Structure 1
Amino acid sequence: MKTLLVQESQKISGTINISGSKNASLAIIASAIIIEHPVKISNVPNILDVKNLLLILKHIGFKFHFSKNELLIYPLDKVQSYLIPRHLTSRLRASNLIISPLISKYGKIKISQDSGGCNIGARPIDLHIYAIRKLGYHITLSDQNYLSIYKNTKLFPQKIHLKKISVGATQNAILATVYIKGTTIIKNIAIEPEIIDLISFLCKLGFKIYLNKKSRTITVRGITREHIKAQKHTIVHQVIPDRIEAATFIISTAINGDKITLNNINHCHLQNILIPLTKSQIIRYTKLSKDSVQISKTEFQFQPSMTISTKPYPAFPSDVQPQIMVLMCYLNGTSKITENVFEQRFQHVYELQKMGANIRIKNKKAIIYGKKTLTPTKIQCSNLRSAAAMLLAGISSKSANKLYTIIENADHITRGYENITEKLRKCSIHIQVLQEKYPSTVIQDNQYLIK
């Protein structure tokens, strides 16, 4: 596992090009299983999760070429393997996104449910299974935790109401219905930008999918494979920018920044981050162009506390909760976070407490007593977004001596942030990447001095 050495007391300043969305890329790449003609997908981030998903597609039999953030995938006539083994699924939570594309086009799948990704609480596949079973698929779960799904009868369109808003279940429900003749209606769906990007991609392929964001309803008019084959041209699609990466850099500027320019962003997708930060007079933002923004930290000495409640989009995202908690450690007064999405999303709290943060947890609520200076020390990453929070904490930490924050298990951050250390270095942040343990030469009395 990689270790990061992050120098304390640094102000982020410069220009960053935001990468393509991790979550949109994973959904679109998985959905490409149903293609009948080559597809060219651009703005795909070169991150670990994308590489692990491509390993699964290669195992199934797909041919593809991935270079310079552009992915070309060729259609598959014959599946090489319907069995997706544990050693592939254990690397990637999003491995479940291949279920519906594979059964929709090829009729069956057997996939291990020992999936990887972030350990942030229960993310059961029950909602996915509910939608797929209602459409008429036969589903069994073996003692070895392998899920088998296949068509055993004619499938019929249905009215599906998801019991809980879920991005993954929404994606699988859509893809399970695209080849079912008739009209399927899916209600209580997620309306994240990544869902809309997936629908945009599928419509380019020729599928008939209609979204009503206000009522959280999707209507799918099923078509035949012959209809898709008749398109006879290469589909080109550009993945949307990663709003979570952009939010991470915005919050970094709010904590200890000067001025930063973010390129390749979508202003609409960032409103749930920008509005609370500007209302609290923590940052100013200036729209430079349709896909560029300048963020600057305000000069106000008294920056008031904040209250955040995470919920599905368009509310404040759970994926940004760890990062904004770091900011709250520096605000005046008492800030509060209610985590409504993942019950284990507070794993980063212990690490922040090791740095001197005063945080109390009660059930799904966190109370952050602000105006605390975080001190460099050795901390651990437990998941992707906590890794981003640890990085922000290390950059903003301060001490009497010039010290490093040592961040262990930092491989988590490579799952979702493309070239993040290089991007930070371009913004005047001093950071070192070590492949294994940190060198003993930087350790003095359990502190980590900058040489």
Structure 2
Amino acid sequence: MNSENDVLRVVGGKPLNGKIKVRGAKNFVSKAMVAALLAPGVSVLKNVPEIRDVHVVSDLLRLHGVNVDVNGADGVVTIDASHVELANVADVDTLSGSSRIPILFSGPLLHRLGEAFIPALGGCAIGGRPIDFHLATLRKLGATVDKEHEDGIHITAPNGLHGAKIHLPYPSVGATEQTLLAAVLAEGKTELSGAAIEPEIMDLVSVLQKMGAVISVDVDRTFRIEGVKELKGFTHTSLTDRIEAASWASAALATHGDIFVKGATQPEMMTFLNVFRKIGGEFDIQDEGIRFWHPGGDLKPVAIETDVHPGFMTDWQQPLVVALTQAKGLSIVHETVYENRFGFTKPLVQMGATVQLYRECLGSLPCRFQQRNYKHSAVIFGPTPLTGRDIDVPDLRGGFSHLIAALAAEGPSTVRGISLIDRGYADFRGKLAALGADFE
């Protein structure tokens, strides 16, 4: 079902030129809001984007007796977690389908209330993101997990949580966050090896340290957490969303445009910037942001492999693949993080792109999807002119990539299901208008 405001009609073939501002990272802000649950006091989060995920987490916190004030215009969220209570199962359930955040409530709720209820989980359909890592972590820290409920999972910690040695078989971002949020108030020391070290996670560590946590980080992906007795509220300014910044950079490349992304920062984007330069894109790093533009001439093909940080981020490849359809020659993308991330290329092919998918690992990185029937490598041949058409948005990043393709294509396109894009791209219609896009 598509309502009229869930459809965008785009006339492409015009360069995107202008200046836009990108706020805090979707993948950090929601987790910092959950962290506020750990302290019986007031926490203030700044540089918060106006996206749906923020409202979902706000509503989830309110169901647990927390006062949340969201000032969207200023990008400030104030959370008072002085009083926390167990939410009504049915209430939590109505919200759960729209996000994977509820599972991260486990640790904070166990510390504050001794129990937690986690409903069935939602999120983007881009590949398996099982919560087994999460549950195994909680069990190691001393929680009892009851999976008998058809509407969710009941977790208790009758004797409180205690430190443990935990090793993640894969550097899962969610499981790393789960461990950090659960271990900071657990009794004793926790050693987490094989952890994810994304910039968003390091920002979460900064927040927890402000609250009073003791966390050290080793260069070999090991976190050491010394449990403390209590935490206090925090005031923190979120790091910029490096996924959104890279998406607009890719849009500048695909449409032969010139976009200044206010708020974009170099340290978190180094790997992306290297690839952007290799393709032939130009950028200029300034104090208040980064300017990305297409300098004219042919774009160059590249071979990239996605990987966990500090590798090339999986969320960066989808918008970039659209730009690679305009590069002269053969580009190869080997996806090692999510097995079903290339589903979004089908509409690109229908628009005129030449993209072939393979089950083989077309790269040198050790890959979990080897010998398994996932089409997780793509070969893109270009440049191919794209022509507008009707598109149904499959997921958040794929959806934004389709939007870029529609903007780069000649003629009109109808993009349906764009409310999915609202989950991670604040006011993207306003930003498109600021860049001179032709849409309604």
TM-score normalised by the chain length of structure 1: 0.89
Instruction: Give matches, 1:244-393, under 5 Å.
Output: 244-280=243-279, 282-289=280-287, 291-301=288-298, 303-363=299-359, 364-393=376-405
Q: Which amino acid aligns with 1:11?
A: P
Q: Kindly indicate whether residue 184 of structure 2 is the aligned counterpart of residue 186 of structure 1.
A: no
Residue equivalent to 1:28: 32
Q: Kindly indicate whether residue 220 of structure 2 is the aligned counterpart of residue 222 of structure 1.
A: no
Structure 2: gaps spanning 5 or more residues: 360-375
Q: Distance in 2 between matches of 1:76 and 1:40?
A: 14
Q: Kindly indicate whether residue 49 of structure 2 is the aligned counterpart of residue 45 of structure 1.
A: yes
Residue equivalent to 1:141: 147
CA deviations 1:139-191 (Å, max 9, x no partner) are: 12125151111113353311111111111100000111111222111111111
Q: Distance in 1 between matches of 2:405 and 2:117?
A: 42
Q: Deviation of residue 105 (structure 1)?
A: 2.6
Paired residues of 2:84 and 2:112 also in contact (CA < 8 A):
no
Paired residues of 1:182 and 1:221 also in contact (CA < 8 A):
yes
Choose 101-110 or 184-193, whichever is displaced more: 101-110
Q: 1:193–1:27: structure 2 CA closer, same or farther, 3 Å change rule?
A: same
Q: Distance in 1 between matches of 2:175 and 2:186?
A: 18
Paired residues of 1:104 and 1:175 also in contact (CA < 8 A):
no
Q: Distance in 1 between matches of 2:76 and 2:160?
A: 38
Paired residues of 1:20 and 1:239 also in contact (CA < 8 A):
yes
Q: Tell me the C-alpha RMSD between the 2 structures.
A: 1.5
Residue 343 of structure 2: SS of its match in structure 1?
A: coil
Q: Kindly indicate whether residue 17 of structure 2 is the aligned counterpart of residue 10 of structure 1.
A: no
Q: Deviation of residue 275 (structure 1)?
A: 0.3
Residue equivalent to 1:151: 157
Q: Which amino acid aligns with 1:324?
A: L
Residue 85 of structure 1: SS of its match in structure 2?
A: helix
Q: Which amino acid aligns with 1:411?
A: S
Q: 2:439 aligns with which of 426, 431, 436?
A: 431
Q: Distance in 2 between matches of 1:82 and 1:315?
A: 41
Residue 342 of structure 2: SS of its match in structure 1?
A: coil
Residue equivalent to 2:406: 394
Q: Distance in 2 between matches of 1:199 and 1:66?
A: 23
Q: 1:56 aligns with which of 51, 56, 60?
A: 60
Residue 424 of structure 1: SS of its match in structure 2?
A: helix
Q: Deviation of residue 78 (structure 1)?
A: 3.9
Q: Distance in 1 between matches of 2:82 and 2:39?
A: 8
Residue 334 of structure 2: SS of its match in structure 1?
A: strand
Structure 1: gaps spanning 5 or more residues: 433-451
Q: Distance in 1 between matches of 2:130 and 2:314?
A: 17
List 4+ stretches of structure 1 deviating above 4 A: none
Residue 375 of structure 1: SS of its match in structure 2?
A: coil
Q: Which amino acid aligns with 1:322?
A: Q
Q: Deviation of residue 292 (structure 1)?
A: 1.5
Q: Deviation of residue 314 (structure 1)?
A: 1.0
Residue equivalent to 2:103: 96
Residue 102 of structure 1: SS of its match in structure 2?
A: helix
Residue 173 of structure 1: SS of its match in structure 2?
A: helix
Paired residues of 1:12 and 1:258 also in contact (CA < 8 A):
yes
Q: Distance in 1 between matches of 2:150 and 2:100?
A: 18
TM-score normalised by the chain length of structure 2: 0.92
The alignment covers a number of residue pairs equal to: 417
Q: Distance in 1 between matches of 2:184 and 2:415?
A: 45
Q: 1:147–1:221: structure 2 CA closer, same or farther, 3 Å change rule?
A: same
Q: 2:177 aligns with which of 168, 171, 177?
A: 171
Q: Distance in 1 between matches of 2:243 and 2:84?
A: 37
Residue 346 of structure 1: SS of its match in structure 2?
A: helix
Q: Deviation of residue 82 (structure 1)?
A: 6.4
Q: Deviation of residue 36 (structure 1)?
A: 2.0
Paired residues of 2:65 and 2:83 also in contact (CA < 8 A):
no
Q: Which amino acid aligns with 2:187?
A: K
Q: 2:69 aligns with which of 65, 70, 82?
A: 65
Residue equivalent to 1:106: 113
Q: Distance in 1 between matches of 2:31 and 2:234?
A: 16
Q: Deviation of residue 264 (structure 1)?
A: 1.0
Residue 226 of structure 2: SS of its match in structure 1?
A: strand
Q: 1:316–1:385: structure 2 CA closer, same or farther, 3 Å change rule?
A: same
Q: Deviation of residue 98 (structure 1)?
A: 1.5
Paired residues of 1:354 and 1:379 also in contact (CA < 8 A):
no
Paired residues of 1:93 and 1:118 also in contact (CA < 8 A):
no
Q: Kindly indicate whether residue 412 of structure 2 is the aligned counterpart of residue 413 of structure 1.
A: no
Paired residues of 1:120 and 1:342 also in contact (CA < 8 A):
yes
Q: Distance in 2 between matches of 1:259 and 1:371?
A: 20
Residue 257 of structure 2: SS of its match in structure 1?
A: strand
